[in-house]
Structure 1
Amino acid sequence: MRRSIVVTAVLVILAFLFVGGPSLLFSPSTADIAPEKADASDPEIVTPDGSESGFWPYLNAREAHEKRSPLNVIVRSDAETVVRQLQEHGDKEWKETDHDHFDAEELVNSTTNGSDDEDDIVGGDLASEDTETEQFLSPTEVPWSTADGATRLAYLDPGNGDDAYWTTETLQLEDGEYYGYRYHIRLYESPNPDDQWVVMQTHSEHFDWFTLRHRVDGVEQAQYRLEKDLMSIPAVDEREDVTRVNLGNSGPSDANGWATNVDLVSAALLFTLGLATRRDRLLEPAKSELDERLTETDRTRIEAATDRIEAGHLVLVGTVITIILGVRVMGVALDRHAGVLSVHMIAALLYPFIALGLPISTYLIARGLTSRLDAAVVASGSLAVAIWLDYGFVNLHSLPIDVVVQRMLVVVALGLIAGGAAKRATRNSPLNDLLLAGIALWVIVLVGTLFGYL
């Protein structure tokens, strides 16, 4: 029992140091901030210049004035013209997508917590300068295609004496991979036929295989990306037709309250956000410098640790990393090339590799290992590495706090399963406290996540 407590404590420390700590320190959106509620009796309506109609500058999953998803692009045109201009002037041919969006609740036939819906943009505290600017960005390719996603409601005011009302999106567009990383746009057309404007909400998101949901990463990159695409349209004058206006909807995610305002005049289009490049640098000390700093005691410890490495440790590392990255790559490949499979079918095909394949493979490989602590640390460390490699695959750089906690728990759970399967743990009984605790934690975390409790 005492040894089990030591193993568990080591795993918790490892999970925090290699998953929780870096995520909390370097992710700008880890703070989970509850959405602010507006006055439902008198919500502030934004009216585009020259229009009678207007909109409340947020989207929501239900008919409630909660400040969740900030609208961040306005285009003076109609939706049909916007789409046609993108088709005619984009550098890539547009294609229809047949995604039937689903969330985890569809797999378990349950209703999830509203705060976990794929496109609720809540959390984060980054703020940009509140200065009105004109953007002068270079044109880019426009590989947008129509998309499906969870329904979000906009509150529109016709402005002609009629009452304001909630409505679903006119159209959704995406650029990227459904099971990888993508930019997602929802657009809403003016409720007044005499006014020609389209308001949009654009954000970047990735598919999370551990939760079976799309997780929103932010809105700023997507907004700049859309600006670039809009400016690539010949009818758009960058200096005169593209400006920024303050909608006063800063706060959620990295939204700063400034929306891109594009006047297409006779040929209008919508979309916002530019792809921010990410530069990661890895600085390693020279080998000679490292050797100079090592004492004889350090070298002895390194040699002892090296002697404890078994072939099974390497097999376990390779297996865990292969499963995590393999599911990501196969999801993207099947979505792109297997047209006969819906997104539900792809998820049903691949998710068992995460939920069942990962713990079962870990257990079977760890049975051949001797030390409980070594098996546990290798399994947890491998999963931590695989998680960060997966984040790199989808270019992820921000996480909500609930995802950070969930990742720490699965890292600990897999380590407990591996430690409980090692030879020294199974000397008296194959079912021991480490193994049972690991299985219980794994099931609780994944099932709780699917049902929206985590």
Structure 2
Amino acid sequence: MRRSLVIAVTLLAISFLFVGGPSLLFSPSTDSVAPDETEVSPSMTSLEESDSEFWRFLSPAERFQQRSPLNVIVRGDSDDILRMMTEEADGDWEEIEAVEAEYEDNETVLQEQEFLEEHDRHATGIEWGDAHGTTRYAYVDPGPDEDAYWTDESGQLEDGDYYGQRYHIRLYESPNSDDQWVAMQAHTEHFDWFTLRHRVDGVEAAQTKIEQDFMNHPQVDVEQDVRRVYLDNAGPSDANGWATVVDLTGMILLPAGVGLAAKRRARTASTGISRETDSEQVSDHTPDAIDDHLTDVDRRRIAAAYDRLEAGHIILLFTILAMFLGVRLGGVALERNAEFMTPHMIAALLYPVIALGIPVATYLIAGTLTRRLDAAIVAAGSLAVAIWLDYGLLGVDSLPVDVVLQRMLVVVALGLIAGGAAKRATRESRFNDMLIAGVVMWVVVLGGTLLGYF
């Protein structure tokens, strides 16, 4: 029992040192990612020459909770706006050429055709694809003769991967067609395989991306048609209270077809990094140079650690890394290549790898190891490394406190399972206190996570 407590304390220290500590120290917005659940009185916003108004936040229910700040407003016909963002001009070049002939002296139209040719014949630089996401409600007021009401989104768009990280937009059309505006809530988010839901990372990057997308269009005058206005909706995530307003009302848009959702296109990005290496710096870090700084005590400790190393430790390390990161990469691969599979089908296929596969594989491999503490440290450390590698691949640099706590608990739970499976822990019984505590903790934490308690 005493040994089990020592291992449990060691695992708690590891989880805090490698998961909790760095998250709390290096994520300055950790405590501000969580949305405000307080219900407030709505303060409506209107645009110039517009009778309709809207509340500056979205809500997951028909209640005034300041959850998702609206951060982009585009003035113009809603069909034109959606077409610019979602549709390729492919297949409609006869129609485009007819417009060009009609406006053969219009330099702007000719510039737009050149722009389309340079950007895969797409109206803006990004092909925003049709997206899936939870419904969020906007509160809108059509004008003095009608009552305000709650409405769900007119459409959802994305750029990125559903099971990776993506830019996600929810669009809401004006309740009064004469006012011609579309309000948007844009954010970056990643799929959390522990909760089977998306976690919002921030709103500023997505707002900037859309803003630049429209600014790159040849018919948009950056100085006159794009500006930022203060909506006083700062607070959730990294929202600063300013919204981008794009005015498309004075444009001549090429007719490239009608429709909301375009065919989603898988895209890949590659980054090349070149590094210059100073030969003198390399020579300072050669094994001989390091060995010169080691004391006899250090060498004895390294030798002792090496003697404790078993092949099972390496196998356990790479198994946990492969299974955890494989779920992330597998979800993205299936999304891109298996179009017949719905998001729910992909989640049902891959989630058991995390919920059952990782603890079962850990138990089986740790059963070949001798020492309980070694098995526990390797399993917990491997999962912590896998979590950090996963967030690194996604570019996530800010986590809410509840997520940090949940990740710390699963690291401890997996370490207990591994420690309880080691040979010295199973000399009297395979169902020892450490193993039972680890399994119960794993089930409770994952179950609580799915139910929304973490």
TM-score tier (shorter): 0.7 to 0.9
Please name the residue that 1:196 is paired with.
Answer: 180
Per the alignment, residue 238 of structure 1 pairs with 222
Higher helix share: 2
Matched, 1:174 2:124: no
Secondary structure of 1:150 counterpart: coil
Does the C-alpha gap of structure 1 residues 321 and 36 become closer, same or farther in structure 2, counting only changes over 3 Å?
closer
Give the fraction of aligned pairs with identical amino acids, expressed as a percent: 61
Q: CA deviation at 1:294?
A: 2.8
Q: CA deviation at 1:202?
A: 0.2
Query: If the length of structure 1 is used for normalisation, what is the TM-score?
Result: 0.83
Matches within 5 A, 1:373-392: 373-392=373-392
Please say if residues 90 and 142 of structure 1, whose CA atoms lie closer than 8 Å, have aligned partners that are also in contact: no
| Partner of residue 263, structure 1 | 247
User: What is the letter of the counterpart of residue 49 of structure 1?
Assistant: E
Structure 1 counterpart SS, 2:429: coil
Q: Pick closer, same or farther for the CA change 1:387–1:90 going to 2, 3 Å.
A: farther
Aligned to 1:77: 76
Q: Deviations over 1:264-312 (max 9, x none)?
A: 1244999xxxx9x9x9x9x998346644543221221112111111000
> Per the alignment, in what secondary structure is the counterpart of residue 188 of structure 2?
strand
The aligned length equals: 398
1:38 CA drift (Å): 5.6
Q: What is residue 134 of structure 1 aligned with on the other side?
A: none
The equivalences for 1:148-227 within 5 A come to: 148-227=132-211
| Cα displacement (A) at 1:217 | 0.4
C-alpha distance in structure 2 between counterparts of 1:45 and 1:293, whole Å: 67
Q: Is the 8 A contact 2:369 2:375 kept in 1?
A: yes
2:357 is matched by which residue type in structure 1? G
Indicate if the aligned counterparts of 2:325 and 2:386 stay in contact, CA closer than 8 A: yes
Gaps of 5+ in 2: 93-118, 254-259, 261-268, 276-280
Q: Secondary structure at the match of 2:315?
A: helix
Quick one: which amino acid aligns to residue 301 of structure 2?
R
Matches within 5 A, 1:9-408: 9-31=9-31, 33=34, 35=36, 37=38, 39-40=40-41, 43-87=42-86, 141-267=125-251, 286-287=285-286, 290-408=290-408
User: What's the CA shift string for 1:22-48, capped at 9, x where partnerless?
Assistant: 1111123321556164643xx211101
- How far apart in 2 are the matches of 1:239 and 1:189? 25
- Distance (Å, rounded) in 2 between the aligned partners of 1:289 and 1:233: 57
Q: Secondary structure at the match of 1:412?
A: helix
Q: CA deviation at 1:211?
A: 1.3
Output the CA distance in 2 between the equivalents of 1:453 and 1:377. Answer: 27
Assess, with a 3 A threshold, how the Cα gap between structure 1 residues 146 and 267 changes in structure 2: closer, same or farther: farther
Task: Compute the displacement of 1:397 (Å).
Answer: 1.2
1:108 is aligned to none
RMSD: 2.5
Per-residue CA deviations over 1:140-186 (Å, capped at 9, x if unaligned) read 83031011210000010112332111100111100111111101000
Distance 1:77 1:291, change over 3 A: farther
Assess if the C-alpha contact under 8 Å between 2:231 and 2:243 holds in 1: yes
